[in-house]
Amino acid sequence: MPANLTQQYKKAEENYRRAETPEDELKWLQIMLAEMPKHKGTDHLQAKLKTQISQVKKEAEQQRAGGGKKGSGTAKSFRVPRQGAGTAVIIGGPNAGKSQLLTALTRATPEVAPYPFTTKQPQPGMMAWEDVFVQLIDTPPITSDFLEPYIVGLLRSADLALLMIDLGDDSGIEQCKEVIDKLATTKTRLAAESSLDEEDVGLAFTKTFFLANKMDDPEAEDRLGLFREICPLPFREFKISATLPETLTELRNAVYESLDVVRIYTKDPKKKEADRDRPFTLSRGDTLLDLAELIHKDYAKNLKFGKVWGSAVHDGTVVKGDYILNDQDVIEVHV
């Protein structure tokens, strides 16, 4: 659809795709509609947005009114506050090694056990990558007859899904297929890249890595071959053993790289050194204005200029709000 959508539209779309509540969805859908260029070429898309807006409005109202309604209080919803440079959600069938992976990559201590359904609530942990952290969330198993409803919301708002298969047992093949089939019945699907569906605006896709786990098992390679035949997936694949940390290096790097963020160190103009402890992370392509907004709303409003030390510019270069940030820039924000 060559609609020449603006940068603001694309940002709103990204926020909508990852919205965690109907109120949030509504807000971003309305911005999308306002930002959409109005001409013949976008008629179709405008109509779709309007339909989606009225649908989400109804959902938001129902949710607001739902407090007193019978049954509505039973649907447990777990919201895990976003933290770090981005979020990856670990999913899979029972015993795939989800909790083991979280243990191996973070300091979190979920229960790891050779029996299913040990994990019932989402369990977050922070994975270190150089001087930043990525949030990983361990979840309960998904089977053909059971999917904790909150997992769909977690997947939707996540940057990445990590789909694990148990190659330590023949049953892992069918169990992994069940996960994929089950998610295919929801409005959040796994895909090679994150996007919104072009026809059904309510349908969101989340970028997924396929983790072939327990490769230390002597029959793992055969099972993987069989699975690939039965259920070919377009996702990037990693062969790992969650119990062997040395097999996880490529995955750790790829998870961070998939976030496509840049690290920015801010410097107080009155001080000699930048704050090297805790970089801000922003999406690649973001500008000085985006950084100012992240620091404080008033900073964006009152931004005068920035001074940059980095790989792409001479030391101390003065830049305006539209300066595109580079990884590891040191920036003084002047307001």
CB of 100 to Mg ion, least distance (A): 8
**Residue of the chain from 99, 139, 157, 188 that contacts Mg ion (CB under 5 A):** 99
Q: How far is the CB of 117 from ligand GDP (least distance, A)?
A: 8
Nearer to ligand GDP, 112 or 255 (CB): 112
Tell me which stretch binds ligand GDP (CB under 6 A): 8-16, 88-96, 278-286, 307-315: 88-96
| Nearest alpha carbon to residue 206 among 188, 179, 183, 180 | 188
The reply to whether 119 sits near ligand GDP by the rule CB under 6 A is yes
In the bound state with ligand GDP, the residue whose beta carbon lies nearer, of 141 and 153, is 141
65 in contact with ligand GDP (CB under 6 A): no
Q: Does 119 bind Mg ion (CB under 5 A)?
A: yes
Among 52, 99, 157, 188, binds ligand GDP (CB under 6 A): 99
Residues in the chain: 335
The verdict on 197 binding ligand GDP (CB under 6 A) reads no
Nearest CB to Mg ion, comparing residues 104 and 333: 104
If contact means CB under 5 to 8 A according to the sort of partner, which of Mg ion, ligand GDP, none does residue 243 touch? ligand GDP
CB of 75 to Mg ion, least distance (A): 22
- Dihedral of CA 88/92/25/207: which sign? positive
Binding span for ligand GDP by CB under 6 A among 72-80, 87-95, 124-132, 265-273: 87-95
Interactions with ligand GDP, residue window 235-254 (CB under 6 A): 241-243
The 3-state secondary structure of the chain, one letter per residue = CCCCCCHHHHHHHHHHHCCCCHHHHHHHHHHHHHHCCCCHHHHHHHHHHHHHHHHHHHHHHHHHHHHHCCCHHHCCCCCCCCCECCEEEEEECCCCCHHHHHHHHECCCCCCCCCCCCCCCCEEEEEEECCEEEEEEECCCCECCECCHHHHHHHHHCCEEEEEEECCCCHHHHHHHHHHHHHCCCCEEEECCCEECCCCCCCEEEEEEEEEECCCCCCHHHHHHHHHHHCCCCCEEEECCCCCHHHCHHHHHHHHHHHCEEEEEECCCCCCCCCCCCCEEEECCCEHHHHHHHHCHHHHHCCCEEEEECCCCCCCEEECCCCECCCCEEEEEEC
* CB nearer ligand GDP, residue 118 or residue 283: 118
Q: Does 135 bind Mg ion (CB under 5 A)?
A: no
For Mg ion, which stretch binds (CB under 5 A), given 18-26, 90-98, 150-158, 201-209? Answer: 90-98
Q: For ligand GDP, which is the closer residue by CB, 100 or 135?
A: 100
Contact residues: ligand GDP, CB under 6 A: 92, 94-100, 112-114, 118-119, 141, 168, 213-214, 216-217, 241-243
Binding stretches for Mg ion (CB under 5 A): 98-99, 118-119
